[in-house]
Amino acid sequence: MTSSETGRAMLDPSPGTIGVQGDSAGGPRQQSPEKSPRPMRADAKRNYDKILATARIVFTERGTDSSLDEIAKRAGVGPGTLYRHFPTREALVDALMQDWTDRVAADADAAIATGLPAREMLLGWFEHFIGHITLHRGAASKICAAMDDPASPMYRKCRVMGDANRRVIDHLDQAGDLRPGVDAANVMRLVSGVASVADTSHAELDVRPMLEVVVDGIVHT
Amino acid sequence: MTSSETGRAMLDPSPGTIGVQGDSAGGPRQQSPEKSPRPMRADAKRNYDKILATARIVFTERGTDSSLDEIAKRAGVGPGTLYRHFPTREALVDALMQDWTDRVAADADAAIATGLPAREMLLGWFEHFIGHITLHRGAASKICAAMDDPASPMYRKCRVMGDANRRVIDHLDQAGDLRPGVDAANVMRLVSGVASVADTSHAELDVRPMLEVVVDGIVHT
DNA sequence: CCACAATACGGAGACTGTCTCCGGTTTAGC
DNA sequence: GCTAAACCGGAGACAGTCTCCGTATTGTGG
């Protein structure tokens, strides 16, 4: 949190502006562009939004393992309604991920735009990334699991973030700043792992030292 | 698993021989050397062992999040008995950790004894370490959490493994093979994080590439 | 504006897993 | 063998997940 704030201050772009080329959007019901006859009833959308807003609060307060029935209750709907809209907990987390994926992508482009030296650029980008995916306790490890699992509802959004990371890596690679053979997907896994340990650790530990090792293992000597 | 096996073949020491200076032992009831009047009744020890043996099997089959009541059932005891011996799931995992901590410590010393170049030595040691802590699915992330949480029952054993790692790191550092300022605890966290992502990932992914980045970030340029 | 089919709601409850309490049983020491 | 201490185990309280289906709401065609 603190590190996220610090990092953010360092290279904050005109926030929420830069367009993301990825899929994004894809809110309720419109996942498949074709074959979507009806746009969703008014009361349905109302409840959908209420559940999402409540989940955002509860997940922030108590993490992504909070009781789903409680979220339903606090949203003022029955459990059945919640489970119809979000068949699994992952689906709910996925819907919430929309909040960051755009920002993450924007942060990646902003990091590139800073033109800082490779080390600083990577450090800043990684800290931003981690700041986002650790917003809700428990989310980081779920992302780790979804990253390489195409069957996961979160897979798509993981790819958007993966692409953002690839842009940063490719940019530095083309500038000759990285060691040969650096794999963006691998870096993504590693940094997500760092996020995961920071998230699960009961102690409030600083991710910086771990990131420095990772960065040193990536940048050209 | 494969990587573990591979690594193991590479530097297998006379297995289970090298003494660990740490606490180790500490089996049922004797945690506190003083103030331990009675050694534990025969039937109690019998059940304790039966539960442990069953847990070893079930945790290997289905991971450390298996139902504890089922373990009790398969061990032929009531849930009450299981919970009396192991008040929390962590306590049970901790008891099972005894299986590896000794081996892990031995592996560290064996790695040092190989006298391989820093890169290879670290790679081998890390792979061994990860091979052990990912034996039961879900254990790695529990270890990540316990590592910096002195209140956890697993904390002690984490320290034993942490000390083993420190020996390897210190050895290489004194040989001048590492970058200045490398922190063993930090490395431990990082490598455990790698184990954690490998463990939670649904895809059977290779830890080697991630470890190479970590190692490159540690060794002297 | 109203009827009515499609759609969505929500809560009762089945199911699973955690953990406790306590009457009954086993053990160890005499 | 006898007794007190230690231990057993299962009934059951509790919490969370998830489903089924009778009821209510919506929006559309007449």
Q: What is the pLDDT of residues B47-99, one digit of tens each?
A: 999 999 999 999 999 999 999 999 999 999 999 999 999 999 999 999 999 98
Closest alpha carbon to B54 in B73, B27, B41 = B73
Return mean pLDDT, chain B: 88
Within 10 angstroms of residue B17's Cβ, the number of other Cβ atoms is: 10
**B118-133 and B208-216 helices cross at what angle (nearest 10)?**
130
How would residue B27 be classed by pLDDT, with cut points 50, 70 and 90? low
> In the predicted model, what is the mean pLDDT of residues B123-148?
97
Q: Do residue A147 and residue B201 have CB atoms under 8 angstroms apart?
A: yes
Q: What is B88-113 written as a DSSP string? A: SHHHHHHHHHHHHHHHHHHHHHHHHH
d(CA A89, CA A112): 34
Radius of gyration in angstroms for the set of CA atoms belonging to chain A, rounded to a whole number: 18
How would residue B37 be classed by pLDDT, with cut points 50, 70 and 90? low
> In the predicted model, what is the mean pLDDT of residues A6-12?
39
Chain B window 37-56: residues with CB closer than 7 Å to nucleic chain D are 38, 40-41, 43-44, 46-48
* CATH level 3 topology of A2-14+88-216: Tetracycline Repressor; domain 2 (1.10.357)
| CA of A19 vs chain B CAs: smallest distance (Å) | 30
Asked if residues B221 and A221 have their Cβ atoms less than 8 Å apart, the reply is yes
Return mean pLDDT, chain A: 88
* Chain A partners within 8 Å of B139 (Cβ): none
Distance of CA B181 to the CA centre of its chain: 25
Asked if residues B121 and B218 have their Cβ atoms less than 8 Å apart, the reply is no
Q: Which has the minimum average pLDDT: A14-18, A81-85, A95-99, A146-150?
A: A14-18
pLDDT of A4 above 60: no
CA closest to C1' of D9 belongs to B78
Which residue of chain B is at minimal alpha-carbon distance from A205? B148
d(CA A15, CA B168): 45
Domain boundaries, chain B: 2-14+88-216
> In the predicted model, what is the mean pLDDT of residues A33-58?
87
How would residue A10 be classed by pLDDT, with cut points 50, 70 and 90? very low
pLDDT of A1 above 80: no
Asked if residues B136 and B90 have their Cβ atoms less than 8 Å apart, the reply is no
pLDDT of B28 above 80: no
